[in-house]
Structure 1
């Protein structure tokens, strides 16, 4: 009986979850992170002793293969894995009670913490499952009419392009795509390309904050300022920037934003977030039915039916982990790792880099190719012969392998990547 009472007492606190003083992060890492902070040297270029502590917090750092496709989905640190396991075990005792009546109370504290990380009003944040769901909600919810134009690019994420094309087929909107040859180290060139495509019928400009194929950082704020002067709204795909780049969503000056939390925030797989500027919420139809579809309440976008509340609540520990490091420090580290390997690789005869090395134009993601090899061939060779996991990109005018390190990536792993590229290039 005492054990049962203890269990109920613990589950009653699940509403606080990661947001109380007894969070798993505090239990597992607070002391470690305090000690690691003593190792930090502001004058150091790498601070490897500090980052060793962070690496050890990820089980992926001990994987039998070198994971360099974190742009697809990032592994979670151990504390997030354990949080998810804890919530799943509790939910399994009776999902209809523990999920709907206990864990569901944790969504509002989570909304507050996500808003803090995003630098916005909690009433502008909806919690869902990924960037596709967030942005498709906006794309299909926009009150566009036949003949209204949307401007995107050939290099946007496929699921967003497909959504606009479906609206084109269904509603008669006009979906226009411009194209870029990356890397580009000139913001004005990019902004002018969008501006040149605008006509009096243009209603929406869609911008991918970091191009998923090759890692180009787009000048979102400058594009948004240009578009707003013409009365055009801006949708931003932030799938690869939230939890990576040090910014607040309102800084972008966009109207709509969606992201996946299971990328650089390292939250559980199947977690995402959408942001809608408060005065725009009323105009967007929810993707899934709601009893008040024209409501000004951001929660109308969360009526997804039964889904994993356990995943939602484990996001909190990912936020704790993120804040334990600091977003600016994290951004600088991951850019350092990208430049560490790419700066060496570009010196290898026959190797071509498809991404800028400047921090204002790229961060984590970089594309690389070897003369005479198809991307899928290089992808296969790296896995088969060197146990290095990347992803081949063979699409439109982009033909390369995408390499994406994370904070748990060791420089020794990147040395192996550079050595592998050197060996393969010699034999190509």
Structure 2
């Protein structure tokens, strides 16, 4: 490879997707019409172990074969040039110039400018920085979060309460979670909490897949002077995310889930003009204080992963965001429709199509504790070769989370359905 490799090279479209641009558009009627094939329109894009059916894409979506090959190429290149690259001693572009395309492409992905985006090690890191370093709070102010929010982001909110002399208010999102009752819950929170200053809001819940009406909630919040910190870890790359359309000033997100970039990639967004409301990460002075990159750690990172981000973003667009969402929603509908008739089984998700995407969740009859949910997870893996995930935290109780990926097929979901039917009497 030349000294200009790999970040500034043009991606060879012939190797990008193996012709995936011509893949068939998945039918919205997948759940009703598909024959349960062992292959799908995207299975050939992946080299993964299929011993266990993994339905946990909400944790890690896995790189495609092409992106993984590009990541290995970048890893070899970084290792070959080691500190000479890191110190910008190579001829040609500097280290930061080679990394800049990743920020540029991610900024376009969310409708932001590059100066408003800093890449980091994932959504959790991004959101910790936004929450813990949020500066406008005064003693006696209130902050709020909901039961559908991610565990570690709740820990960050609890840290604010413990260290900043503010009051933390918790909201239980009503079930069934219709658009109307979600907005009523937030309007009630806003009306009853005159000193509410900041709200943690999750775009797509990692617990049950609930998709929040972000733009509507943001409009209500802004009219009252309430800031929103948006957790978009489960939405960027899965569904349209536009910071202007949602009117969001602060957002943290992952890239290793639905964008299918390497592990340890994500980003923080801070709207221009609001950077001073997020303090630099632990007093970070490596960057100019007005630089958004001062709001994330600046240690030695996986540079190969960051160099690979443009390839992953390009492949995301090549496959087609609408195609991805249509196919994934079809897989979600496929398994849900095949277990609805099981007496006592709860599908812990709204029926309103605007309020879900691909993440789903269920409870077996009689399943009420997290210990029982963990037993379900263990039995599904050991007895049926299917990975679903026990998730606590919802006010209504623990659930089993199901998250198909692009590499999953209807046959994979048939194994899930069979496992549910076998284990449905486990706790009754």
TM-score, L = length of structure 1: 0.89
Which of 219, 223, 230 is equivalent to 2:224? 230
* Equivalent position of 2:91 in the other structure: none
Cα distance, 1:239 vs. partner?
A: 0.8
Candidates 36, 45, 56, aligned match of 2:44? 56
Give the number of equivalent residue pairs: 410
What are the within-5 Å matches in structure 2 for residues 61-76 of structure 1? 62-76=49-63
Q: How many angstroms apart in 2 are the aligned matches of 1:209 and 1:159?
A: 15
Q: Cα distance, 1:412 vs. partner?
A: 0.7
Partner of 1:413: 412
Range that drifts further, 222-231 or 394-403: 394-403
Q: Secondary structure at the match of 2:59?
A: coil
Cα pair distance change 1:283/1:293, threshold 3 Å: farther
- Taking the TM superposition and a 5 Å limit, the aligned residue runs for 1:37-116 are 39-40=24-25, 45=30, 52-60=40-48, 62-101=49-88, 103-116=95-108
Correspondence list, 1:290-329, <5 A? 290-291=284-285, 295-329=289-323
Q: How far does residue 391 in structure 1 lie from its aligned partner after superposition?
A: 0.6
Residue of structure 2 in register with 1:174 after alignment: 167
> Quick one: distance in 2 between partners of 1:292 and 1:84?
27
In structure 2, relative to structure 1, the CA distance for the partners of 1:291 and 1:103 (3 Å cut) is: closer
1:128 aligned onto 2:120: yes
Deviations 1:240-264 (A, max 9, x none): 1110012322221121111111111
Residue aligned with 2:283, SS: coil
Asked if 1 retains the 8 angstrom alpha-carbon contact of 2:55 and 2:403, the reply is yes
Alpha-carbon offset, residue 27 of structure 1: 4.1
Deviates more, 1:314-323 or 1:99-108: 99-108
Does the residue aligned with 2:40 lie in a helix, a strand or coil?
helix
Residue of structure 2 in register with 1:211 after alignment:
205
- Of 237, 262, 271, which aligns to 1:268? 262
What is the 5 A alignment of 1:134-149? 134-143=126-135, 144-149=137-142
Q: Distance in 2 between matches of 1:118 and 1:55?
A: 27
CA distance in 2, matches of 1:318, 1:47: 29
Indicate conservation of the 8 Å contact 2:281/2:296, yes or no. Answer: no
- Aligned to 1:420, the other structure's residue is in SS state helix
Q: For the residues of structure 2 that align with 1:168 and 1:189, how far apart are their CA atoms?
A: 27
Q: Which has the higher contact order (CA 8 A, sep 6+)?
A: 2
Structure having the higher helix fraction is 1
Cα deviation for residue 337 of structure 1 reads 0.7
Residue 292 (structure 1) shift: 7.3
**2:332 equivalent in structure 1:** 338
Q: Does the CA contact (< 8 Å) of 1:90 and 1:98 recur in 2?
A: no
Distance 1:273 1:146, change over 3 A: same
Greater displacement, 417-426 / 224-233: 417-426
Whether the 8 Å contact between 1:14 and 1:103 is mirrored in structure 2 is: no
Hey, what's the Cα distance between the residues in 1 that align with 2:342 and 2:28? 30
Q: Offset of 1:367 from its aligned partner?
A: 0.8
SS at match of 2:346: strand
Answer whether contact 1:285 1:293 (CA < 8 A) is retained.
no
Q: 1:222 to 1:66 in 2, by over 3 A?
A: same
Rounded to whole Å, the distance in 2 between the matches of 1:41 and 1:265 is 18
Superposition TM-score, scaled by structure 2 size: 0.89
Task: Give RMSD over aligned pairs.
Answer: 2.3
